[in-house]
Structure 1
Amino acid sequence: MIVVAEVYYLKIEEMSRFHNRNFELLEPYEGKLSRTVLRGERGSNAPDLLDTHIVLVDTGNSYQGLCNFINRRTNGEDGVYFTYTEKNPISFNPFYTDDGVFDIEKRESIKTLIMTLWKRDNEPPTRSEEVALSNAVSLYIERITIDESVVPSFNSFYEFVKLDYAAILDAKRVREKDFDLANFLNVLEPYYKGGEYDFLLNSEKQLDLLSKRFIVFEIDAIKDHKILFPIVTIIVMEVFINKMRRLQGIRKMILIEEAWKAIAKEGMAEYIKYLFKTVRKFFGEAIVVTQEVDDIIASPIVKESIINNSDCKILLDQRKYMNKFDSIQALLGLTEKEKSQVLSINMSNNPNRKYKEVWFGLGGVQSAVYATEVSLEEYFTFTTEETEKLEVAKKTEELDGNIELAIKQIAESKRK
């Protein structure tokens, strides 16, 4: 458990005074503060963060240890980690739901996904193509809803379009220039069984992410991939919006680490704007993390959406940007008092204690610098240092996969 010493006001009762609970976190150094938002102290009248549904988008495998920890502690019920390797490529099944419910959001996300596979960014669909695709998706969903022998997957959708939907189009005498079925099937063939990307949308794991409380999308290996990355970002969008709209009365959080820079470039800008403006209405929080001040100064998405809709701002040590801080101050709308607080971070720390200072600003009405301390157990759960991660992995393997015990033993050995 994380120990956020002195940060007592981060209770949900206090946060509820503000218009929204979105965060903007600027951490120019390799701080671990972004992890603290995952386990803050909560008030007695508020749901604990353990009841929160959290979706993380990350680069660098920062949360792999924590995700494995949660997965083991919950006996596989929670802690879902998506990443890409050659031996184990990332895989989804957007056509599967536990409860068989395909609401408007779900149907639209499927259509958007298929449209992304089919058309290039500079190749907008015609009205007749949009109608044809919409009908294909609706009829396929109707089929899998009434016929349990059809396994929901991209493979069965492709076969449905190739055979059943083709017959419907013939009967309706739909012209090729209105909807070129042969072209549609040819372009989507790489995602069908035997194709280059047949793994991507045909996961055999019957996994409905709506019920999973802790999900990590690690996108470092695919963030520059022109095929895989846009598809994964659509999946991320669909997962969180589905939670946001369907999990009524349940707190939900999306935390986008450095990955937000890549996401914002791939057609997700409008989604991020929509997310930050509406998530509070659904008892949700959106958080972005960045280490580079130039990113937040240069990005119109940040200026127009994230900062304006984030009542909570968190800044770590800014000495690296001492000469540029006027720009940060202007962008974040900090007062002179708040500027002085930020620039005092880590300037007079107690040498006998291991902690980092951090500045919190809440709604422009309350701000202060606080000390953040974590236990060794917490440190080794979140560490991104390669040698330390390998140490934890090796000890976990020695203990038959018990990562919790491995971390406890490593922490204890460091105290001696």
Structure 2
Amino acid sequence: MSQLLQSAATLEEKQPIYQVEQGCLISKNGDVTVAFRLELPEIYTLAQHDYEARHSAVVKAVRLLLNHTVLHKQDWFVEDKYTPSFEEERSLLSHAYERNFYERPFLHHSCYLFITKTASSRENWTSLSTLLSRPRIVPKEMMNEDLLSAFFNSVGQFVRVLSDAGIGFSQLTDEDLCGTEVKTGLLEKYLSLNLSDTAPMTDLDFTQGLKVGSKLCQCFSLGNLDDLPAALTTSARHGNLSTDYTNFFVGFTAPVGLSLNCNHIYNQYLFVDDPAKTLKSFEKKRDNLNALALYSRQNAINKEFYDRYLNEAHSEQKLPVRAHANVFAWTEREADVKELREQTGSAITQMGCKVRQNTVDIGALFWAGIPGNAGDFPSEETFYTFAEQACCLWSMETNYRDSSSPFGIKLSDRLTGKPVHVDISDEPRQKGIIANRNKFVLGGSGSGKSFFTNGMVRQYHEQGSHVLIVDTGNSYKGLCTLRKGVYFTYEEKQPISFNPFFVVGSPDVEKRLSLHNLLVMLWKRENEAVSQAEYVSISTALTHYYQHLAADSSIRASFNTFYEFLQGPFTAYLATEKVREQDFDMHNFLYVLKPYYRGGEYDYLLNSEKQLDLTRESFIVFEIDNIKDHPILFPVVTLVIMDTFLQKMRQLKGVRKMILIEEAWKAIATPAMAEYLKYLFKTVRKFQGEAVVVTQEVKDILDNPVVKDTIITQSDCMILLDLRKFMGRFNEIQEVLALSEKQKALVLSINQDRRPGVRYNEVYIGLGTTVATVYGVEVSAEEYVTYTTEEAEKKVLFDKIEVGMSIETAIQAYARELREAG
């Protein structure tokens, strides 16, 4: 303990806050402070013009404040570790994902703003005027109710202006500031440099610098104009994330914010004194220097400085203010102090500022940083400037935030790799950011596209979504097996087969129409018209067939029994109704459909032995790579796909549905299917559904009208992976995808500055025209072996299953082998 603070009683006497009442801090000097917690934009999501817009808003808000108001913005960056959520109901892969990030280190950021009304006499107080070294005196003017009312009104206006600029405000309550019996308040947290809700009070030792409990503190400040660069800006170019074609910007103060990887507090002070009085004193100093200019060239130079300041203040109506910024960094290990100094000094240097460490006055600076005590800040540590320059020192970004939505997927914070809960479907739509949930995914080969889509699909399915996937590369076989889904594929020994005639109960209108279209497609050529009599006859046949099944439960629904029904009862019915052959040629109809009947070439196709109601199956994969060019099989499969998802859309009320079409969309985008895709993308949102199209070829989006005119225009969520190899023609991609310059810079920054020693890729997610963020896609070993598209790796997994392992055991065994192999 220092000589000033000999005991706990002395600490009680010297601490500056007299009372907390109605959310306001009242100091022993009579200063009144309103405290807020701020919610800032996420780092790496702002463009240069975004920083400028928020800076302009802050300057505008500052001009609304009363004279003798102090703004104290306090940003805490505290080392923390990710705590996984191990819930009993978590799936194998969810549990493995959480375990993969166990105790992943990151900086926890909390931002507070304290707006203090001081007496007019406070602006020239020095470090000798603080309550650490003088008795309590309350200025008379601070007892004026009208003055306090005007102050609160100005604070309200200040908050409204910044809220409109996208900065979130929540006023701190008495409990937030003082704490409760079970929870520590902010005042105690600051005095112990501990944001924990159970932070204990600690000793403060000022004898050799500053020691808070076991924490050894270092302080670096910007308290003199000479400490600053020649020009201050709102943002700075991030070299590692920029390219030859784009400039990527972060905040000017980012080096002392989230980029400074140690425990620290970044304090920013702005003092609004009496502008008229300030300018008048500068006029007087200018005149004195002018009179002494003949005796010293330095006097003449300083006189010019005052002239320029005064001219700018008057001509541009700028507000003169005082400013200060400092960084308090701490560590509990004596051996780390040197590295801490170097790390903090390097960060300040990156801003173009001079490094100045405070030792003698560290106590006064720390004491002034107590919430509500900014009025005690020593004036000799401040410098005069304009509000525009002072606000450049404000940190205006925070780390990634979890979505408040209960639905979503887990991705990674780009800066540290910490898991982040992200909702890219519901919350954005509720907020009006997007109008539909459709997604377009573009990423080159090897960009991590399959890992992202597998992860997204898995998490959607685990949260109750029905998922239907159309694939061409066995990318989802492992996941489908794990999720106990239905996997349709064509192999010579085990050809693809369905039973579209099987339904639970009686078929609805949609199902009858789907079967009608299937029969017409099998019978007629693509450009061959269907007469009204033929249309009615097929519809009547389907109605009578299901009546026939209802009357005889021994008959199993399939194409075979339908064909036999046509041969017998329905042929007799047509004869009874005297339907002419020229109106409906039953002989031709049966002849053309015969290859699909028992003993025919394709008798397996529509007569699956599995009694599957695909509408009720929640995970379905159609692997169509082997049949995408087949003139018979492919049209039938695509019609079954259409029917399955349409049935889900119409029948499953209150259930989320997703159809994901991988590279297969190129085969499906035929003239007949193009209309279906248009219908699907436009209407799926009405049925709590979303359509997702995935491609890896840039030429597909540039040359295919179905993609440009339907898929992209109807997809409000744009998901892009590493496209740097297309950097030379990115202007074309930018035009088709309607990307802004900010979004372009984000996309081309993907994988540019990955953290060493960690295997992951990055993904850009754009929501509507306003929200765009780059996330990390990092998976556990268990997820890797499930999602991998490498044929050799998939073979290892399924070989284990063939020898008797369950899919879960095989995944765990293979993942363990990978971890052991390093």
Q: TM-score, normalised by structure 1?
A: 0.93
Higher mean C-alpha displacement, 272-281 vs 174-183: 174-183
The 3-state SS of whatever aligns with 1:198 is coil
For 1:242, give the aligned amino acid: Q
Query: Who is 2:510 aligned against?
Result: 105
The 3-state SS of whatever aligns with 2:615 is helix
> Does residue 545 of structure 2 align to residue 140 of structure 1?
yes
Query: Who is 1:404 aligned against?
Result: 808
| Partner deviation per Cα, 1:7-27 (whole Å, 9 max, x = no partner) | 533265423332111100001
Conserved in 2, the CA contact under 8 Å of 1:4 and 1:374?
Answer: no
Query: Who is 1:5 aligned against?
Result: 412
- Structure 1 residues 76-95: aligned runs within 5 Å: 79-95=485-501
Query: Who is 2:777 aligned against?
Result: 372
For 1:26, give the aligned amino acid: L
| Partner deviation per Cα, 1:190-232 (whole Å, 9 max, x = no partner) | 0010111111111111111111110111101111110000000
The CA deviation at 1:36 is 2.7
For 1:85, give the aligned amino acid: E
- Structure 1 residues 322-337: aligned runs within 5 Å: 322-337=727-742
The 3-state SS of whatever aligns with 1:54 is strand
Query: Who is 1:14 aligned against?
Result: 427
Query: Who is 1:25 aligned against?
Result: 441
2: CA distance, partners of 1:13 / 1:54: 17
> Does residue 470 of structure 2 align to residue 57 of structure 1?
yes
2: CA distance, partners of 1:11 / 1:230: 33
Conserved in 2, the CA contact under 8 Å of 1:24 and 1:289?
Answer: yes
For 2:800, give the aligned amino acid: K
1: CA distance, partners of 2:591 / 2:425: 52
Query: Who is 1:75 aligned against?
Result: none
Conserved in 2, the CA contact under 8 Å of 1:317 and 1:357?
Answer: yes
The 3-state SS of whatever aligns with 2:799 is helix
Conserved in 1, the CA contact under 8 Å of 2:425 and 2:437?
Answer: no
2: CA distance, partners of 1:141 / 1:155: 14
Structure 2 unaligned regions, length at least 5: 1-92, 98-409, 414-419
> Does residue 586 of structure 2 align to residue 181 of structure 1?
yes
Conserved in 2, the CA contact under 8 Å of 1:22 and 1:310?
Answer: yes
> Does residue 480 of structure 2 align to residue 67 of structure 1?
yes
The 3-state SS of whatever aligns with 1:288 is strand
Conserved in 2, the CA contact under 8 Å of 1:4 and 1:36?
Answer: no
Conserved in 2, the CA contact under 8 Å of 1:58 and 1:256?
Answer: yes
Conserved in 2, the CA contact under 8 Å of 1:27 and 1:317?
Answer: yes
For 1:21, give the aligned amino acid: R
Aligned residues: 401
* Change in CA separation of 1:234 and 1:338 when aligned onto 2, cut-off 3 Å: same
1: CA distance, partners of 2:583 / 2:643: 29
Sequence identity (%) = 53
2: CA distance, partners of 1:101 / 1:296: 42
Query: Who is 1:38 aligned against?
Result: 457
The CA deviation at 1:145 is 2.4
Higher relative contact order structure (alpha carbons within 8 Å, sequence separation ≥ 6):
1
1: CA distance, partners of 2:438 / 2:543: 35
Conserved in 2, the CA contact under 8 Å of 1:67 and 1:81?
Answer: yes
1: CA distance, partners of 2:426 / 2:469: 24
| Partner deviation per Cα, 1:94-153 (whole Å, 9 max, x = no partner) | 11112x131110000000011111011021212221121111112112211232122211
| Partner deviation per Cα, 1:303-323 (whole Å, 9 max, x = no partner) | 221111111000001112112
Q: Which residue, out of 194, 208, 213, partners 2:599?
A: 194
For 1:65, give the aligned amino acid: G
Query: Who is 2:81 aligned against?
Result: none
* Change in CA separation of 1:134 and 1:117 when aligned onto 2, cut-off 3 Å: same
Higher mean C-alpha displacement, 342-351 vs 224-233: 342-351
> Does residue 634 of structure 2 align to residue 229 of structure 1?
yes
> Does residue 659 of structure 2 align to residue 254 of structure 1?
yes
> Does residue 773 of structure 2 align to residue 360 of structure 1?
no
- Structure 1 residues 237-386: aligned runs within 5 Å: 237-265=642-670, 267-386=672-791
Conserved in 1, the CA contact under 8 Å of 2:472 and 2:664?
Answer: yes
Which 4+ residue blocks in structure 1 deviate beyond 4 angstroms? Answer: none
| Partner deviation per Cα, 1:151-178 (whole Å, 9 max, x = no partner) | 2111111111111111121122222111
The CA deviation at 1:327 is 1.3
2: CA distance, partners of 1:15 / 1:159: 53
Conserved in 1, the CA contact under 8 Å of 2:716 and 2:767?
Answer: yes
The 3-state SS of whatever aligns with 2:421 is coil
- Structure 1 residues 154-169: aligned runs within 5 Å: 154-169=559-574
The 3-state SS of whatever aligns with 2:467 is strand
2: CA distance, partners of 1:382 / 1:266: 33
For 2:660, give the aligned amino acid: L
Query: Who is 2:308 aligned against?
Result: none
For 1:97, give the aligned amino acid: V
* Change in CA separation of 1:351 and 1:327 when aligned onto 2, cut-off 3 Å: same
The CA deviation at 1:351 is 2.1
For 1:96, give the aligned amino acid: F
The 3-state SS of whatever aligns with 2:483 is helix
2: CA distance, partners of 1:323 / 1:260: 26
1: CA distance, partners of 2:616 / 2:665: 24
**Greater strand share, structure number:** 2
1: CA distance, partners of 2:426 / 2:494: 43
The 3-state SS of whatever aligns with 2:752 is coil
Q: TM-score, normalised by structure 2?
A: 0.48
